[in-house]
């Protein structure tokens, strides 16, 4: 019998909790989640420990935790929030390296890439002006790489090299994958393993990562959702189980 049928949290639901925690303590700020699991996480945060969060549908509307319309957010106002540091976005990454540089543009050499992706889009402005976390539903050495093929989202080493104008508002609170949670709380601001999801080992994370992670002596499990949080995930924020399309059981 699967975890959903027995009432236990699934891996996807643990990932929802891990994403929700990215917005803890942010206060009145625009949460911009990209992906089904981050969207569920932001809605859950709003319903529980972050009631002041603003949620966007990604276009021009502010919405509530059950996707009810709460207001209008025209593009000009959206940009004002971004450039003023009043947004915390959770983006995806086709590649991410040890310092948090993110690539969503191309795989291979820029002049003749092996694969064309989304393009740089707003990643540089996001990372230099407001907090940016990352959600990666398929943790593998192809995604967690030693060096990204192109820098779109700015990592700690790149921001440091660019100087104070780049580091002033630069912040990457966390990276969440289907295997664990990561941050950059190390002396050189390289990636550190914070927790592994239940059923995942530290060795599994190391094998799936293309660079040497900082790993503490004692790595806890990612916290499980409480019964109340689990009910909200299943009945309010994601009753259609879109989370299961991003994370394997």
Q: Is 7 helix (H, G, I), strand (E, B) or coil?
A: coil
Residue ranges of domains in the chain, CATH in brackets = 3-245 (3.40.1080.10)
Q: What string of DSSP letters covers 166-197?
A: HHSS-----EEESSEEEE--STT---EEEEE-
Instruction: Give buried/exposed letters for 22-44 (b at 16+ CB in 10 A, else e).
Output: bbeebeebbbbbebbbbbbbbbb
Q: Where do we find the tokens 């932001």?
A: 42
Q: Of 101, 88, 112, 246, which is closest to residue 173 (Cα–Cα)?
A: 88
Kindly list the distances between the CA atom of residue 181 and the CA atoms of 48, 133, 223, 240, in Å, as whole numbers in the listed order: 20, 11, 11, 25
Tens-binned pLDDT, residue by residue, of the chain (249 aa):
456 655 799 999 999 999 999 999 999 999 999 999 999 999 999 999 999 999 988 788 899 998 889 999 888 888 888 888 889 999 999 999 999 999 999 999 988 999 989 889 889 989 999 999 999 999 999 999 999 999 999 999 999 999 999 999 999 999 999 999 999 999 999 999 999 999 999 999 999 999 999 999 999 999 999 999 999 999 999 999 999 999 976
């Amino acid at each position: 019998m699967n975890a959903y049928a027995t009432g236990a949290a699934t891996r996807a639901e643990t990932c929802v909790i891990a994403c929700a925690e990215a917005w803890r303590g942010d206060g009145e700020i625009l949460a911009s989640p990209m992906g089904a699991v981050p969207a569920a996480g932001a809605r859950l945060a709003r319903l529980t420990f972050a009631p002041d969060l603003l949620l966007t549908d990604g276009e021009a509307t502010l919405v509530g935790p059950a996707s009810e319309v709460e207001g209008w957010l025209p593009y000009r106002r959206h940009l004002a929030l971004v450039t003023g540091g009043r947004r915390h976005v959770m983006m995806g990454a086709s590649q991410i390296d040890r310092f948090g540089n993110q690539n969503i543009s191309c795989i291979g050499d820029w002049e003749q890439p092996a694969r064309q992706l989304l393009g740089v889009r707003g990643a540089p402005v996001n990372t230099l002006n407001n907090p940016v976390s990352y959600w990666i539903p398929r943790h593998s050495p192809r995604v967690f790489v030693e060096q990204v093929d192109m820098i779109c989202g700015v990592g700690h080493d790149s921001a440091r090299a660019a100087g104070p104008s780049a580091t002033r508002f630069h912040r990457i609170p966390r990276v969440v994958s289907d295997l664990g949670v990561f941050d950059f709380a190390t002396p050189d601001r390289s990636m550190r393993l914070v927790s592994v999801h239940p059923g995942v080992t530290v060795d599994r994370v190391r094998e799936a990562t293309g660079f040497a992670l900082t790993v503490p002596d004692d790595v806890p499990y990612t916290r499980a959702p409480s019964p109340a949080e689990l009910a909200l995930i299943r009945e309010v924020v994601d009753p259609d189980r879109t989370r299961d399309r991003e994370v394997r059981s």
